[in-house]
Amino acid sequence: MDMYDAKQLYDRLKVSEREDETLDLDARLRAMNGPLLAWYEEHARILPWRENPEGYRVWISEIMLQQTRVEAVKPYFERFLEALPDVASLASVEDDRLMKLWEGLGYYNRARNLKKAAGVIMEEYGGKMPEQYEDLLKLPGIGSYTAGAVSSIAFGHPVPAVDGNVLRVISRVTASREDILKASTKKWMETHLRETMPRDRASHFNQGLIEIGAIVCVPNGQPHCAECPLESICLAKRHNLMGEIPVKTPPKKRRLEDKTVCILECGDQVGLNKRDDSGLLASLYELPNREGHLTPEEIPEAFGLDPGEIVELEPVGPAKHIFSHVEWHMTGYRVRLKHGIPKSYIAAGKEELKTTYALPNAFGRYTKMIE
């Protein structure tokens, strides 16, 4: 279908609605179906997980896409599927190997829950990905959106998949002023979409809504209303409310924490710590760090170093990393040692940083300095 034919099709599918004859809520949602499906067939991006939307692949992609941009996910998805091509391999992978495969994606609990869920699938479903929404919802790390996405995209079941993109699109189409961060708003939307979505086209319907939210009815900046197949029925567009809708509670201010980070080096070895099994960045490896911004004179005592072992202590500048609720403001030092990494640290080979030890992005500015 060329662009001219597509435009003619969208025009035929658009809903004629006079100002004094407004559609009720469910009628407005049903009116989306035709234009949305036609638009998606024409404009769907080519993405690796869409080429073969099998249950395991859809699941992995949806977990990776949480809190992460599509373009950033693509190489991770390919690498992950090559190393762990099925539920069985994921269930049995060593934790350090899993963390290394996930390194750079952040929100590492997502990977831990993937492995836990894979174990449940092996034990309770014989290694076969469950396809029903209710069964998927019982798995660790899977909420209503992911359960809906896997069930509809991989298996065609008519269940909604409401993420931030869908919340924004539907809020604008219906001119809803309900707070999209409230669970009740999401539940309300899921209920009405379940009743009005096309039962035989659930996969394309859900993906179409998500796609519009990602590339047309965008989260930041002005939406591209002229390119949207839902423009004719969108109440936010009609009443020029795009800047006011969706309504979202302002986020709480992040807690600020000062850190001092040391790159401890001796020859081809680097000193690492392993974080505790719970809390922020649980069980990941890290560059040694301490609370506060320390001076060069404070480094030896704070990091348990013999001053006589220090060949060079070089400031390497500040760095910042933002977590969801915490913001780290870091200052860094490179410390070269004479006779080895102290026994209180893990002595890791620099080549092993590429293959074995998963270091979070929080330390990215400093890990890039390691030769």
Gap between the Cα atoms of 43 and 214, Å rounded: 12
**Of the given ranges (65-74, 84-93, 273-282, 328-337), which has the lowest mean pLDDT?**
273-282
Mean of all residue pLDDT scores within the chain = 91
- Helices and strands, number each (H, E), in the chain: 19, 7
The β-bridge relationship of strands 255-266 and 289-291 is: antiparallel
Residue 274 within any structural domain of the chain: yes
Q: How far is CA 349 from CA 34, 131, 218, in A?
A: 58, 44, 44
137 shares its domain with 41: yes
Q: Does residue 302 lie in a domain region?
A: yes
Residue 322 forms beta bridges with which residues? 327
Q: Domain containing 314: what range?
A: 255-367
Please tell me whether residues 343 and 262 are part of one structural domain.
Answer: yes
- 282 & 347 share domain: yes
Answer yes or no: do 157 and 302 share one domain. Answer: no
Split at pLDDT 50, 70, 90, the class of 187 is: very high
Residue 334 falls inside a structural domain: yes
Structural domain contains residue 247: no
153: in domain: yes
Burial (CB count within 10 angstroms: exposed 0-12, middle 13-18, buried 19+), residue 172: buried
Is 124 part of the annotated catalytic residue set? Answer: no
Number of independent structural domains in the chain: 2
Cβ-in-10-Å burial (0-12, 13-18, 19+) of 123 comes to exposed
List, for residues 58-109, the tens digit of each pLDDT value.
999 999 999 888 999 999 999 999 999 999 999 999 999 999 999 888 888 9
Query: Strands 255-266 and 310-322, how do they pair?
Result: unpaired
CATH number of the domain bearing residue 201? 1.10.1670.10
Report the CATH number at residue 266: 3.90.79.10
pLDDT of residue 282: 83
Looking at the structure, tell me whether residues 301 and 337 fall in a common domain: yes
Read off the pLDDT of residues 222-270 as tens digits, 9 standing for 90 and up. Answer: 999 999 999 999 999 999 999 999 999 888 889 999 999 999 999 999 9
Residue 117 in contact with residue 146, Cβ under 8 Å?
no
- Whether 291 maps to a domain, the answer reads yes
What is the rounded (10 degree) CA torsion for 216, 217, 220, 221? 80
Sign for the pseudo-dihedral over CA of 84, 85, 87, 88: negative
Where is average pLDDT lowest: 71-75, 95-99, 200-204, 279-283? 279-283
Q: What angle do CA 78, 168, 34 make, to 5 degrees?
A: 85
- 292 and 161 both lie in a single domain: no
**What is the pLDDT, as a whole number, of residue 178?**
95
**Is there a single domain that holds both residue 226 and residue 313?**
no
The residue among 238, 272, 306 that closes a domain is 238
Domain C-terminal end among 187, 206, 238: 238
Q: Are residues 289 and 211 in the same domain?
A: no
Counting beta carbons within 10 angstroms of the beta carbon of residue 356, is it exposed (0 to 12), middle (13 to 18) or buried (19 or more)? middle
Give the chain's length.
Answer: 371
Q: Cβ–Cβ contacts within 10 Å for residue 243, how many?
A: 8
> Per-residue pLDDT for 280 more than 90?
no
Out of 41, 42, 54, 62, the active site residue is 62
Average pLDDT over residues 270-292: 90
Please report whether residue 161 resides in a domain: yes
Domain boundary among 182, 205, 238: 238
**347 and 260 inside one domain:** yes
Same domain, yes or no: 144 and 13: yes
* Whether the predicted pLDDT of 163 surpasses 70: yes
Asked if residue 269 and residue 170 are part of one domain, the reply reads no
pLDDT in tens, 10-23: 454 455 455 434 78
Is the C-alpha dihedral spanning 140, 247, 165, 106 positive or negative?
Answer: negative
pLDDT at 5 over 80: no
Residue 119 lies in a domain: no
Question: Are 232 and 359 found together in one domain?
Answer: no
